[in-house]
Structure 1
Amino acid sequence: MDRLKLSDNIIRLRHERKITQEELANFLGVTKASVSKWENAQSTPDLMLLLQISAFFDMTIDELIGYKAQLSREQIRRFYGELVGDFAKRPFHEAIEKTRNLARRYYSCHPFLLQLIVLYWNHYMLAESKEEQAKLLEEAVSWCDHILENCSDVGVCSDALVLKAGLSLQLGKAKETIAMLEPMSDPTRLAGQDGALLVQAYQMEGESEKARGYIQAREYLDLLNLVSDAMISLALYQDDFKRCQETICRIGNVIEQYRLERLHPNVAAQFHYQTAVVYALNGEEEGALKALRSFQKCVDRLLCAEKLTLHGDDYFDRLDAWIETLPLGDMAPRSRKFIFRNLQAAFGHPAFEGIKENPDFQRMLQHFTSK
C-alpha cells in the first residue's frame, strides 16, 4: 500500500482554500505550531481533530489521509504476482503471513480478497501438517463469508460462493457443498440462455466485435469445461473401461482439433494424466505410457515457456482482449516452480505401481527429477 498522504493533503487543501496555517489552527482550536508539525509529518492529529479537519475540507477521513481501501486491477495483479513468487521462493510461513497482512489491509476490497482466496486454495497443500492445511482452508472460507455478507457485486459474490463450496468440499463437508451448489446448478434454468441473448443484443446494436469477442470467450470456456468434465467422468466411470475408452477417444479428438495442447497445455496435461491413471488401473500398460508421454509433452511446454500465460491462437483470435479483462489478466495462478514440485507426486500415484519399473516410466520420472 502507498504511504498515507495526510501531511501533503493538508498543505494542498489549505493552499487550495487560500488559508494560512494560523487560520486553520484557529478554526480547529489548536496552535499554529501544531498545524506546522502535521504538514511536516512530525506528528498527526488525534481522531476528533481528523473528524474536524475532514469536515472543514468537506471530504472523508479516508480521502484526507490518502487511504485507498480499493485496489485497481493493475494493483491486484501486481500483488498476486508477488505472492505467487513468494510461495515459490520464500519459506511457506512467510508467504502466508504476507498474504494475511494484505488481506487485513484490504479487507473491504472484495475483488482482491477473492484472489487471495484463490491463492490460498492453490497453495494450502504446501503447509507441513494436515491440521495447518485445514486451518488455512477454514480461513479462506471465512473470507468467502465476509464477501458474501458485505459485497454488493453479484459477480464477485457468485465467485465467492463457488469458492466456498469448493473449499468446503476440500474440508470434507460434502453436504454443505451440495446445499450451496444444488440450487444454482439446475441445467433447466433459463440462466443458460443469457449468452445467446447477449450476442443477439450486441448484433441488434451493431456491436459485432463485442458479439464475436464474447462468443469466442464463451466457446473457449465451454471447451475447457468439456475437457474438465470429461476428467471427472473418467474418475466416476473408471470401473467401466469401455465407456472410459470412448470418452478418451472423443475428448482426444477435441483436444487435437482445437490444438488444446498449445492453447491450454495445463488442462490438456490434466486430461492426459487422468487417462494414464484409467489405463493403469485397468492393466493397460501401453495405453498408460502413451498417455504419460502426452502428459510429459504438455508439462514440458509449460516448463519451457518463457512466461506462463493464458492466450488465444489463430482460431481464438479475439481471446487475448477478453483475457486482459480477467482479474489476473493473462497471469497463471501458480508459478512454474510450483508446477514442477507437483510432478513427483503425480508419478507416485498408486495406479502406477504396476508400471513403475518400466524403463519408459523411469525415463519420464528421471526427465523431471533431473531438472
Structure 2
Amino acid sequence: MTLLPLLAAYFDISVDQLLTYNAQLTTAEIQRIYQQLKAEFGQRDGAILLKKIHDLVRQYYSCYPFVLQMGLLLVNHLDYLPGKDAAEKQRTYLTEARALFERVKNAAGDPELVVQARSYQAYCDLMLQQPEQVLAALGEFVPATIPPESLIAGAFQQLGRNDEALRTVQSALFQYLTELMSLLTNSLLLLSDQPAKFAETYQRTWQLATAFSFPEIHPVVVLNFLLGACLGFAHQRQIALLSQVLTRFETVLRQVVVPIKLQGDAYFDRIQPWLDQLEIGPQTPRNSNHLRRDLLRVLLGDPQIQALATEPTLAPQLQKLQTLLEVEQHDEPAE
C-alpha cells in the first residue's frame, strides 16, 4: 500500500485512478490511439509526439498488442521524430522499436504476437545492418508451414458456414497477394544487374497487380513496386520502359485518395470484417496524407533519374511529376 503513491506518480495518475486502472486495451482502443497519433505526425512537434508515445507505452506496458503497434508506429514515422539527420533518426528509433518488439517477444503469451514481434525485430536488425542477428533469429531457410486459413476455412465448411469460409479464403488471398507484391518489389532490387529478368519481373508483377485491381484497393504496395521499377530502369537507362512505368506511376499516384484505407472491391467482397478486426484496423501503418510527397521526393531526388531529366521522352513526364511535387509541398500544413 505504501507504494501506491509512487506508482501513481510514475504513471502520472491519481491513486484512485490507479486502483481502477485497466492495463489492457481493446482492439478498437488500439485502433483509435494509433489513428490519432498517426494523424498528428506532420501536424505537431515530433518531440511532443515522442513523449506522448513514451507515456502511453509506460502506461500500457503489459498490453502487448499495443506495445507492438507502438513499435511499428516508430518504425513507420521515424523521419518525423527529433534527430539531427536521417541516419541518426534511423539508428535511434529503430533501436527503440526493436526493444519494444523484444519486450513483446519475450513476455507475450500469444504465439501469434511472438511470431510477429520476432519478425519485426529482425526487420529492425536488417535496417540497422546487423544481418547475422536476422539469420540467428529467423534461420537461413523459409520454414515449412501449414497455412492456418485453410484449416479455418475447412472448419467453417464442415459447420455449414460457407460465407465465413469464403471470408477466410478471401482475407488470406488478399494478404498473400500483398506480401507477394512486396516480395516481387524486393526481387527487383536483386535483379538490377540483369535487365532481361528485371523487365520480365516488372511485366509479370504489373499483370498480377492489375488482374486483382490492386492499384485501386491497395495503391501503396503498387506505388512502392512502380517506384522500384522506375529506379531500376533508370539505372539501366531503359528509356522506353522507364517512360511506360512513369506513366503508370503518375496515373496511380493521382488516383490515390488520402487518407488511405485498405478496402475490398466487387471481388474481395467479404474481407471488411477481417480488416476491421486487425490491431490497427483498415488504416495504413504510416500516415498516408504525405504519401504523394514522400514518393515523389524519392523518385525525383534519385541521381539516375536526374541524369535522364533532359531525355526528350522523359523530360515532359518528369516535369509533370515535379509540378505535382510542388503542389503537394505547397499544400503541406505548417508544423
CA contact (8 A) 2:231 2:299 kept: no
Do structure 1's residue 101 and structure 2's residue 24 form an aligned pair? no
Instruction: Find the partner of 1:167 among 112, 119, 124.
Output: 124
The structure number with the bigger radius of gyration is 1
The aligned counterpart of 1:360 is 317
Amino acid at match of 2:183: D
Instruction: Please give the alpha-carbon distance, in whole angstroms, between the structure 2 residues aligned to 1:195 and 1:65.
Output: 41
> Is the deviation greater in 219-228 or in 344-353?
344-353
The aligned counterpart of 1:337 is 289
Q: TM-score, normalised by structure 2?
A: 0.87
The aligned counterpart of 1:156 is 113
CA contact (8 A) 1:88 1:337 kept: no
Which sections of structure 1, spanning at least 5 residues, go unmatched?
1-44, 50-60
The aligned counterpart of 1:290 is 244
Deviation of the 1:64 alpha carbon: 7.6
Which sections of structure 2, spanning at least 5 residues, go unmatched?
6-14, 329-335
1:269-319 superposed Cα distances (whole Å, 9 cap, x missing partner):
1111111112111111232122122112222222xx254211000000001
Instruction: Please give the alpha-carbon distance, in whole angstroms, between the structure 2 residues aligned to 1:229 and 1:133.
Output: 23
> Is the deviation greater in 173-182 or in 359-368?
359-368
Which structure is higher in RCO with an 8 Å CA cutoff and minimum separation 6? 2
Deviation of the 1:72 alpha carbon: 1.3
Give aligned-pair identity as a percent.
26
Amino acid at match of 2:322: L
The aligned counterpart of 2:263 is 311
- Alignment CA distance shift 1:104-1:247 (3 Å): same
- Alignment CA distance shift 1:64-1:101 (3 Å): closer
Q: TM-score, normalised by structure 1?
A: 0.79
The number of residue pairs the alignment matches comes to 312
CA contact (8 A) 1:266 1:299 kept: no
Aligned 1:34-113 pairs, distance under 5 A: 46-47=2-3, 65-113=19-67
Instruction: Find the partner of 1:211 among 150, 153, 165.
Output: 165
CA contact (8 A) 1:308 1:336 kept: yes
RMSD after superposition: 2.3
The aligned counterpart of 1:256 is 210
- Alignment CA distance shift 1:70-1:183 (3 Å): farther
- Alignment CA distance shift 1:85-1:128 (3 Å): farther
The aligned counterpart of 1:299 is 253
1:207-243 superposed Cα distances (whole Å, 9 cap, x missing partner):
2122101100111112112211111111101111111
The aligned counterpart of 1:347 is 300
- Equivalent position SS for 1:111: helix
Instruction: Please give the alpha-carbon distance, in whole angstroms, between the structure 2 residues aligned to 1:210 and 1:222.
Output: 18
Do structure 1's residue 128 and structure 2's residue 84 form an aligned pair? yes
Do structure 1's residue 234 and structure 2's residue 188 form an aligned pair? yes
